[in-house]
Structure 1
Amino acid sequence: MLTLKNIKKQFDGRTILDNLNLEVPDGQILAIVGPSGAGKTTLLRCISGLETVDSGEFILDGQPYDPANNRDNDKVIGVVFQDFQLFPNLTVKDNITLAPQLVLKQSKADAEARGQALIDQLNLSGKEDLYPYQLSGGQKQRVAIVRALAMNPKILCYDEPTSALDPDLRQTVEQIILGLKQNQMTQIVVTHDMTFAENIADQILRVEPIKA
């Protein structure tokens, strides 16, 4: 279980998160919803260690945890970014297998075997040797998810996973997220799409801009 206690974050004197408390049980899906500027992405970035908090604490499986200063954070919390952040000069296969080899010290053969299993699972077979510019938005999304899963994270975070997709692809993303839940993957999803959130989430956190 991931627990957040009294998390506070400010930017330039403006409070974005104010004494936020939250629990995400193992294997569940949390959706974070709210208007632009309410702190959804900031919260996700704090959870994933991309931003530091000003005060408060994180507890993971009953132990204090600092996502911003954990050398193994890539193995604990994976992130699927809104703009995917695929390496444009690498093929799909290389995008997926690079980090497991560099960070997890997997052999090339092991990284490729794990990567191929995930590629097959997310219906990307035949795309292994393509480059990101040759993929559709939905295919890039799935590659980004596979790349995060290849690190075997305990928690997978998504920043607006449907915002760059055509409406008819939203259901595909829903199916992927719910499929990962069946495998007991804990997931945290930032979204502006309330219907999407209601379709996937065990709990929904609504955040609002904090008035000065």
Structure 2
Amino acid sequence: MLEIKNLTKTYDGKLILDHVNLTIKDDEILTIVGPSGAGKSTLLRCISGLEKIDGGTFLLNGEPFDPAETKQSEAVIGVVFQDFQLFPNFTVLQNVTLAPTTVLHVSAADANREARDLLDRLNLNGKEDLYPYELSGGQKQRVAIVRALAMHPQILCYDEPTSALDPDLRQEVAKIILGLKQDGMTQIVVTHDMDFASAVADKMLRVEPV
């Protein structure tokens, strides 16, 4: 369980997040919604440790936790970025196995085996040797999810996972997220798509501009 207490974040003296309090239970899907500029993505970046907070505390399973200071090898929180951030000069398989082998020090054989299992599970079998430019938007999205899962995070975060997808692919992403919930994955989804948010959420947080 992740607890956030009185989280505050400013940029250049402007208050973006004002004493946010939030509890995310294990296996729960939280969606964060709100208008552009309200701080949705900033909140996600603070939770994932990509931004340092100005005030407040995090508790993970009741223990103090600083996402910005936690060693990457602990793989507590994974992130699926809006623009996927796949390495263009790496194949799908190389994109997925890079972090497990270099950060977690998993053997190449084990990393490849797990990557292929995850790719197969998300209907990406046969795409292992393709490069990102050869993939559709939906396929890139799934590769980004597989890459995050390969690090065995406790919590998986998504930043606008449906922003570039058509309605059919949005439903596909919803099925993936709900399927991961059944496997016990705690997930946080930032989205402007209220229909999508309602379809996957156990809990919804609406943020407004400060």
Question: Is contact 1:49-1:73 (8 Å) kept?
Answer: no
Counterpart-to-counterpart distance in 1, 2:41 and 2:138? 21
Counterpart-to-counterpart distance in 1, 2:166 and 2:74? 29
Instruction: Structure 2 unaligned segments of length 5 or more: list them.
Output: none
Provide, for residues 48-72 of structure 1, a one-character-per-residue CA deviation record: whole Å limited to 9, x for no partner.
0000000000000110000001113
Aligned residue in 1 for 2:193: 193
Aligned residue in 2 for 1:88: 88
Question: Is contact 2:101-2:111 (8 Å) kept?
Answer: yes
Aligned residue in 2 for 1:12: 12
What displacement does 1:74 show?
5.9
Write the letter of the residue equivalent to 2:42: T
Write the letter of the residue equivalent to 1:61: N
Aligned residue in 2 for 1:178: 178
Instruction: Structure 1 unaligned segments of length 5 or more: list them.
Output: none
Aligned residue in 1 for 2:135: 135
What displacement does 1:167 show?
1.9
Counterpart-to-counterpart distance in 1, 2:78 and 2:142? 14
What displacement does 1:168 show?
1.7
Write the letter of the residue equivalent to 1:198: S
Aligned residue in 2 for 1:55: 55
Question: Is contact 2:73-2:103 (8 Å) kept?
Answer: no
Partner-residue secondary structure (3-state), 2:21: strand
Identity %: 69
Q: Scaled by the length of structure 2, what TM-score is found?
A: 0.99
Question: Is contact 1:3-1:58 (8 Å) kept?
Answer: yes
Counterpart-to-counterpart distance in 1, 2:40 and 2:160? 10
Question: Is contact 2:122-2:142 (8 Å) kept?
Answer: yes
Change in Cα spacing, 1:165 to 1:74, as seen in structure 2 (3 Å) is farther
Provide, for residues 105-159 of structure 1, a one-character-per-residue CA deviation record: whole Å limited to 9, x for no partner.
0000000111111001000000000000000000000000000000000000000
What displacement does 1:12 show?
1.0
The number of aligned residues is 210
Aligned residue in 1 for 2:115: 115
Aligned residue in 2 for 1:29: 29
RMSD: 0.8
Partner-residue secondary structure (3-state), 1:68: coil
Q: Show structure 1 runs of 4+ deviating over 6 A.
A: none
Aligned residue in 2 for 1:100: 100
What displacement does 1:73 show?
6.2
Question: Is contact 1:6-1:19 (8 Å) kept?
Answer: yes
